[in-house]
């Protein structure tokens, strides 16, 4: 029989539809959402028109087939017209070929439209998220963000493919089928429709149970996936191995997997019940038609061909009618997915390019902070509640982190930032690289306010090496070319040699083509730092920011990294924050930050002579160094602090 793709396919599609959460129908869409959704379909309007036309054509072809059956029996077989029967059989063959052709073409349009929309939405969301400030990423759950790019985008595109096809197709099939059935026998048609509630009411109940089970299974799968993500990355695997609890982890995972299994079995049984009920309804309706219709035929009130056609139409009727009863859930589910995607696109970036940008001069330029005040943005300013897993975002301000900071670094000079943990040193580094904008005052590069230029200009001018080096799970060459995409292998080698790490690369299995592993875990901490320095050298910025670049290194690794850093600082403006005070005498100026303010400024000798906070920090670290060498500390009564501070030069402690 030519008709819908298949009864089984239609039944499973309906089961999936009834598995959706009906509470979605209570959701109120934001004003203008539907209009914006239609805007995404505008580039595909011609394909959509052709797609809808094919859906209607498919319904028309399917509706014509039972009438051909009727004609073959009533006008051919009963009258012994062999030629007529053969001709009508040929018509059935033509309709079958036409139906397959329409189905294939319809699927092509559906794929083109659906995949095109997925591409448009994904690229827009990805590009938009990349423009978000760093505060957004520090708050948003990575898994929730990835779900927007995958699950919600795929759910959104169904509005113009499967949902549109089902709504238009099912409406057309129901209208044509009921019209033909009423034309053939309105009495049998009404009796057949009376059976529909016997299926529809239990289907709603089963659908609610399926929706509940589906929601539970999604949650369980999410928890199981989160567990695998945390345990299967390098850091998580190390914790499990070092604490020796693999058996407990296996048992925990087994419990979660068992819950998923049990939920799946229950879900499968409800699904079989749903399908069996649909099959039973069709069987009862067919029995009713053949029973009563047979009596009408024996009485001469109904032709045999008409009876066969009515039975064929019944197979096309109940599936679409049942699906249409749940169409509101299908439509709202796709619209809510669209709204969740639009929610991300509507979150405005807080760091924007100037409309008429001023260029920054090339080479080493001055760095200036002019009466800078700064507070970190609240969650309500940079994030979404749905991405943080909370009901309401916190709008409480953390207060000013920097207050009236005035600093200036001349072109080619080095400024060292020193101070207790949490004083605001890394915040200053973030402002210079424009990860944030100040809430008061101005940050300038070469006399240009960073808000008056472009982010690209700032990125070209400023290079950063931090204490936590991130390398992508790609080849070493790919990680290096992130700074300079067109760099040749010779340029990569030169940068690696200058960073004093080429001898390490030469020993790697595939040299520059070696995949460095998750977050670069195939390399040691010192090696990653020197790779980061090589990447900075390839970028060749005029301004360098070193944010505690040797904080976690041992003495041997630190010495190598320091030697590489000396090469980086030559001829560049530098703002340096580091872990130790041992070599800050090489800095042109040292600024001591405490409580978000600049409390001391000067050279190493000047600050030691003042006997202020800097002198205290210096004595503390010098005392710790003396103790480690087996000698008495210079200042025995001073407390030992673990204060992150600045380094610029060698490794010997400063007296």
pLDDT tens for 219-241 read 777 678 777 877 776 677 767 77
**Residue 39 banded pLDDT, cuts 50, 70, 90:** confident
**Residue 490 banded pLDDT, cuts 50, 70, 90:** very high
Task: Provide the terminal-to-terminal Cα distance of the chain, rounded to the nearest Å.
Answer: 95
Q: What pLDDT sits at residue 370?
A: 96
Report whether pLDDT(47) > 60: yes
Please tell me which residue, 165 or 233, carries the higher pLDDT value. 165
In whole angstroms, give the CA distance from residue 150 to residue 122.
8
Average pLDDT over residues 127-153: 82
Average pLDDT over residues 344-358: 90
Nearest in space to 169 (alpha carbons), one of 342, 319, 381:
319
Buried b (16+ CB within 10 A) or exposed e, 549-578: bbbebeeebbebbbebbeebbeebbbbbbb
Average confidence score pLDDT of the chain: 82
Q: What pLDDT sits at residue 211?
A: 67
**Residue 648 banded pLDDT, cuts 50, 70, 90:** very low
Strand partners, 76: none
In whole angstroms, give the CA distance from residue 110 to residue 113.
5
Q: What are phi and psi of 340, to 5 degrees?
A: -65, -35
In the chain the domains, ranked by start, together with CATH numbers, are 7-345 (1.20.1560.10), 367-381+399-628 (3.40.50.300)
Average pLDDT over residues 69-94: 92
373 neighbors 403 (Cβ within 8 angstroms): yes
Nearest in space to 622 (alpha carbons), one of 613, 612, 632:
632
Report whether pLDDT(645) > 70: no
Of 264-278, 308-322, 508-522, the range with the lowest mean pLDDT is 264-278
Q: What pLDDT sits at residue 635?
A: 33
Q: What pLDDT sits at residue 553?
A: 66
- What pTM was computed for the model? 0.75
Average pLDDT over residues 114-135: 89
Report whether pLDDT(655) > 60: no
Report whether pLDDT(67) > 90: yes
Q: What pLDDT sits at residue 7?
A: 46
Q: What pLDDT sits at residue 632?
A: 34
Please tell me which residue, 195 or 602, carries the higher pLDDT value. 602
Report whether pLDDT(483) > 70: yes
- Which tokens hold the place of 642? 């673990």
């Amino acid at each position: 029989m030519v008709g819908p793709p298949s009864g089984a396919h239609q039944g499973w599609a309906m089961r999936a539809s009834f598995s959706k959460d009906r509470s979605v129908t209570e959701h109120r869409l934001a004003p203008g959402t539907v209009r914006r959704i239609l805007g995404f379909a505008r580039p595909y309007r011609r394909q959509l028109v052709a797609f809808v036309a094919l859906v209607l054509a498919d319904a028309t072809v399917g509706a014509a087939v039972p009438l051909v059956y009727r004609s073959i029996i009533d006008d051919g077989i009963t009258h012994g017209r062999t030629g007529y029967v053969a001709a009508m059989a040929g018509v059935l063959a033509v309709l079958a070929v036409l139906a397959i052709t329409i189905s294939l073409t319809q699927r092509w349009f559906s794929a083109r439209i659906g995949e095109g929309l997925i591409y448009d939405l994904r690229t827009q969301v990805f590009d938009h998220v990349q423009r978000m400030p760093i505060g957004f990423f520090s708050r948003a759950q990575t898994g929730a963000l990835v779900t927007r790019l995958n699950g919600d985008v795929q759910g959104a595109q169904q509005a113009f493919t499967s949902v549109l096809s089902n709504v238009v197709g099912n409406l057309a099939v129901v209208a044509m089928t009921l019209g033909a059935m009423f034309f053939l026998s309105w009495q049998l048609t009404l009796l057949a429709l009376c059976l529909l509630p016997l299926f529809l009411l239990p289907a709603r109940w089963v659908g609610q149970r399926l929706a509940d089970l589906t929601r539970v299974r999604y949650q369980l799968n999410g928890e199981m996936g989160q567990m695998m993500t945390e345990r299967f990355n390098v850091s998580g695997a190390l914790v499990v191995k070092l604490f020796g609890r693999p058996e407990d982890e296996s048992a925990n995972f087994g419990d979660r997997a068992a819950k998923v299994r049990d939920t799946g079995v229950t879900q499968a049984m409800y699904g079989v019940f749903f399908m069996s009920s649909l099959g039973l309804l069709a069987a009862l309706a067919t029995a009713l038609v053949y029973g009563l219709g047979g009596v009408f035929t024996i009485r001469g009130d109904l032709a045999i061909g008409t009876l066969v056609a009515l039975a064929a139409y019944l197979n096309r009727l109940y599936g679409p009618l049942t699906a249409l009863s749940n169409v509101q859930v299908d439509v709202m589910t796709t619209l809510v997915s669209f709204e969740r995607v639009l929610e991300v696109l509507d979150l405005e970036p807080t760091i924007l390019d100037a409309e008429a940008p001023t260029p920054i001069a090339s080479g080493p330029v001055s760095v200036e902070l002019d009466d800078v005040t700064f507070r970190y943005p609240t969650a309500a300013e940079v994030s979404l509640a749905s991405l943080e897993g909370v009901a309401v975002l916190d709008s409480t301000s953390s207060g000013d982190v920097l207050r009236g900071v005035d600093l200036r670094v001349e072109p080619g000079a080095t400024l060292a930032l020193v101070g207790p943990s949490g004083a605001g040193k890394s915040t200053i580094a973030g402002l210079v690289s424009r990860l944030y904008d100040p809430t008061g005052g101005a940050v300038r590069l070469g006399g240009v306010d960073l808000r008056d230029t472009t982010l690209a200009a700032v990125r070209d001018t400023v290079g950063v090496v931090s204490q936590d080096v991130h390398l992508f799970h790609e080849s070493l060459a790919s990680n290096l070319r992130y700074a300079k995409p067109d760099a040749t292998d010779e340029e990569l080698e030169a940068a690696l040699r200058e960073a004093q790490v080429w001898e390490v690369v030469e020993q790697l299995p595939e040299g520059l083509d070696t995949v460095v592993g998750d977050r670069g875990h195939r390399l040691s901490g010192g090696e990653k730092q020197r790779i980061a320095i090589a990447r900075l050298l390839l970028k060749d910025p005029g301004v360098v920011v070193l944010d505690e670049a040797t904080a976690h290194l041992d003495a041997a690794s630190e010495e190598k990294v320091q030697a590489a850093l000396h090469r980086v600082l030559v001829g560049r403006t530098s703002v340096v924050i580091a872990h130790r005070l041992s070599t800050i005498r090489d800095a042109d100026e040292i600024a001591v930050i405490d409580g978000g303010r600049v409390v001391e400024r000067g050279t190493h000798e000047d600050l030691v002579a003042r006997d202020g906070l800097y002198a205290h920090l210096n004595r503390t670290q010098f005392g710790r160094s003396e103790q480690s060498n087996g000698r008495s500390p210079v200042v025995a009564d001073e407390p030992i602090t673990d204060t992150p501070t600045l380094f610029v030069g060698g490794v010997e402690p400063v007296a």
